[in-house]
Amino acid sequence: MNKQKPILFFDGICNLCNASVRFVIKRDKEKQFLFASLQSDVAKNILLHKNSKINMDTIILLDKNKIYTKSDAALLVLKKIGFPYNILYFFKIFPKFIRDFFYDLIAKNRYKWFGKKDYCMIPDKETANRFID
């Protein structure tokens, strides 16, 4: 595993989360991100080693040995994938509690609004090497 690459941890059974991961994969031209479901042993080992709890209601980004969650993680991912998505980093000007209020609203309703799977996403052969579970 290349420790230099940011790792994006996501809820592997959430349809919205899986769609978000596919969105990032498609636009991450430099293939800078690695991915792991929050349900995986890899996620548990890495995050617990970093003294971070597993919270299924947020994406978690591990970048340069720092943990980002909720809107901070989402905005940093958009910034890293570049133009035009990095423009959305503008929302960073709003206080975290406001950004996270809306993040939490979506996160709490994601299964109801977008559904969920019975099992974690299985990557295709082309992207399997970017998943570390």
Sequence-distant (≥ 6) Cβ neighbours of residue 42 within 8 angstroms:
36, 132, 133
Residue 3 has pLDDT above 60, yes or no: no
Structure tokens at 81: 């994938």
Q: Check if the beta carbon of residue 10 is closer than 8 Å to that of residue 17.
A: yes
pLDDT tens string 40-79? 888 888 887 766 666 778 899 999 989 999 999 999 999 9
| DSSP character at residue 131 | B
Number of domains in the chain: 1
Structural domain contains residue 96: yes
Structural domain contains residue 66: yes
Structural domain contains residue 79: yes
User: Among residues 121, 125, 114, 126, which one has the least CA distance to residue 36?
Assistant: 121
Q: What's the pLDDT at 2?
A: 46
| Residue range of the domain that includes 12 | 7-127
Q: What's the pLDDT at 121?
A: 64
pLDDT tens string 76-106? 999 999 999 999 999 999 999 999 999 999 9
- Cis-peptide into 123, omega within 30 deg: no
Q: What's the pLDDT at 119?
A: 63
Structural domain contains residue 115: yes
